[in-house]
Amino acid sequence: MFIVSHSARMVRLFICCIVWLLAGCSKQALEGPVPSEPLPTTSPILPSYLLANTWDKLSWTAIQVNPTPSFSPPFVVNDQLHVLGDWVLYQFNVGQATWNQVGSDIEFKNARYLFSYQSKAYFLKWEKYLKAYDVNTKTWTDKANYPGTKTSGGAYTATAFKGYMMGGSSDFDANLNPVLHAENWEYDFVNDTWTKRANTPGWPRYRSCSFAVGDKIYYGTGETVITKVQLSSGIITKTPTPLKDWWEYNTVTNTWTQKADFGGGVRCGLKGFVLKGKVYAGAGDLGEDNTLTHDLWRYDPGSNTWFERKYIPVLPDPWNRLYYVGTSGAGYATTSKVDQVWQYRP
């Protein structure tokens, strides 16, 4: 009797397992596989699987200075977020979510930030004079003068030991169209020397961007000026045109390779940062101040693919533009007025 009862229980248990397995297979067949990467979307209304990456609001407190200075885009030195207001340098304390004044020097006036190396921030003055400011000792050092074409609106970035200045505008013509160039200059932090490298590919441009990942630099987007001649009248017109192309520069072989276009389409003034070997980029505009964006895309150099990430819940305007910048552990966003700080964690 015991043997019969035990066998019956075993049969019932076996049947329950089969039913459970069949139900699980049916559910998976209906739902489909979970995507390993989010699929690109075309709307700021994001699907639920994009909510895993987060923007956290750290501060809505503006730097209290009267009168309000004109702030430069944020930059990173010593793996800490900084911003320059006229000739006063501020540093962001992530733990306290506050901006603290850490330097004040008239030498900052008209200084354009290029890149950082160790505890030094490198600035270009009057399109020629390179100067390094040590945030630890609060001292300046004159460096080798920039030997290239006078430039503004170029792309600036740095690898572990060298900084790069790429493209930009050297002047404006009679119709206020920028005169563009494609020069690519390498600065050696250790030897304090400049070396001209292979010109940037594609269209000469300004308001472009560049990001260093290891010994590779990713460069592109921005705006060019296309010259056209009307066949009927012979009139020459120049049309500002935003770009979306994306290129890889190998600093070791001094060669360029075209990559997949920026995932967000044409873009001027693209901002971003590098985290864990991947480029995160977005914001900027479509060529006009009334087409400002607040998106974020991730570029994977290994697979040469773009994936759309979570939009930052900030709507920029021409008087308060959006900037992205990153430390080794997180990405950050601020605005032209530095009236808020957000942190991005992938």
Distance CA 219, CA 208 (A): 7
pLDDT tens digits, one per residue of 113-170: 999 999 999 999 999 999 999 999 999 999 999 999 989 999 999 999 999 999 999 8
Distance CA 337, CA 273 (A): 20
Match 């990430």 to its residue by tokens. Answer: 309
Q: Note the pLDDT of residue 21.
A: 46
pLDDT tens digits, one per residue of 43-95: 445 454 444 689 999 998 889 887 778 999 999 999 999 999 989 999 999 99
Say which CATH topology domain 50-345 has: Neuraminidase (2.120.10)
User: What percent helix, strand, coil does the chain show, rounded to 5?
Assistant: 10, 45, 40
CB 171 within 8 A of CB 179: yes
Distance CA 120, CA 128 (A): 18
Backbone angles phi, psi at 16, to 5 degrees: -60, -40
Distance CA 128, CA 20 (A): 73
pLDDT tens digits, one per residue of 260-292: 999 999 999 999 999 999 999 999 999 988 899
pTM greater than 0.75: yes
Q: Note the pLDDT of residue 12.
A: 54
Q: Note the pLDDT of residue 159.
A: 98
Rounded to the nearest integer, the mean pLDDT of the chain is 87
Distance CA 240, CA 259 (A): 23
Delimit the domains of the chain by residue range. 50-345
DSSP label at residue 328: S
